[in-house]
Copies of this chain bind each other. A is one copy, B any other.
Amino acid sequence: MKQNQIRAPYLLFFGAETELGYAKTGIGLAQWRADLCIGQCNLPEGTVDVGLPSTSLIDAVEAGVKSVVIGTAPVGGKIPDSWLPFLTEALTLGLDIVSGLHQKLSSIDILRETAEQFACQLIDIRLPPTNLPVANGIKRQGKRLLMVGTDCAVGKKYTALQLEQDMRKLDIDADFRATGQTGIMIAGSGIPIDAVVSDFVSGAAELISPENSEKHWDVIEGQGSIYHPGYSAVSLGLLIGSQPDAFVVCHDATRENIMGWDSFSLPSIKQVIARTIELGKQVNPNITCVGISINTSALTEDKRKSYIKSLSDEIGLPCVDPLIDGTSKIVQFMEEANLIG
């Protein structure tokens, strides 16, 4: 019934990768958890550089590293044989291995046997914990801010991480809570909510943001969209289990249809706000929308400014591109609305 807990600090491993585009997990970790990343390590053929010092296994152990985190995802999601000597050596040195790949670490005999012998963990981020509970719906102490989307891949994880950072800057007690694999790597714990059996989705969401001190904020990574023809059940389960006090709607400025489901128009931001409140108020009558986070990367600077302004005027809430503006405006709005005490 426990979430996977990744032991910090980390050594990021990129194998023989030469394309930065496949190294998103490592890039995310280096960006959002630089303080936990001691170094990076490539095989001789690899060239990925996320700006950390190149560090050997021996040096990593001396520097106190506890886990080797696989920071890249080869096409097909398999663990190449060429990685096994490195990973096996890491286990013999007492390090855990953390992976978000499709192929399970524990499915490889030499890794499983070595991990057992040296009492190390093989952590497959894609595997949810077993024995998850059904949600009890009981209100938990602490505050929760959930990212919801008009679609998949609209910046929910990035927005949540930026909100955590901007809240902490103001000495607000806040933690990013992860519901997807890259997020779990960054948070160091979490549950891949879309891999949970449907009976337990809301129960898993309750575990992801457990009871906390009264003024503490969990900033919860969202998944999918309540309007998504494939994934709405995941989004609803997460909403009900999260019992959010507040939520931010994440959207891509140029998206018109559900990505990959082209016959479905994207819902409007107003529709997403209304439905999220309607469904969420059952577990938290105070649920309220506190801002809009927009990916405006496809707009020119002029268009970006007018888009953000007119949307903010229309909805009556702070509207930001978190990559460009940060999310301070949303946090400020929450403070002015006396949500942050």
Contact = CB atoms under 8 A, between A and B. Distances in A.
Contacts of A219: none
A236 interface: yes
A203 B228 CA distance: 12
A212 to B, nearest CB: 20
Contact of A202 (B195, B203, B230, B264): B230
- Most chain B CB neighbours (cut-off 10 Å) among A231, A263, A278: A231
Nearest to A265: B282
A100 to B, nearest CB: 16
A122 to B, nearest CB: 21
Interface string A192-215: 011111110111000000000000
Contact of A231 (B138, B199, B282): B199
Contact of A197 (B138, B196, B203, B229): B196
Contact of A198 (B134, B234, B282): B234
Q: How many copies does the complex hold?
A: 2
A4 interface: no
Nearest to A237: B233
B240 A229 contact: yes
A232 interface: yes
B227 A232 contact: no
A229 B199 contact: no
A136 interface: yes
A284 B113 CA distance: 52
Interface string A229-256: 1111110110010000000000000000
Contacts of A240: 229, 232-233
A261 interface: yes
A261 B137 contact: yes
Given A194-B198, A197-B197, A201-B198, A236 B232 contact: yes
A229 B275 CA distance: 16
A308 B234 CA distance: 36
Contacts of A282: 227, 229, 264
A93 interface: no
A231 B263 contact: no
Contacts of A134: 230-231
A283 B233 CA distance: 14
A299 B245 CA distance: 41
Contacts of A340: none
Contact of A229 (B137, B230, B232, B233): B137
A137 B263 contact: yes
Closest 5 CB pairs of A and B: A137-B229, A233-B237, A194-B199, A134-B230, A198-B198
6 contacts: A138-B263, A195-B198, A197-B198, A201-B233, A233-B237, A264-B282
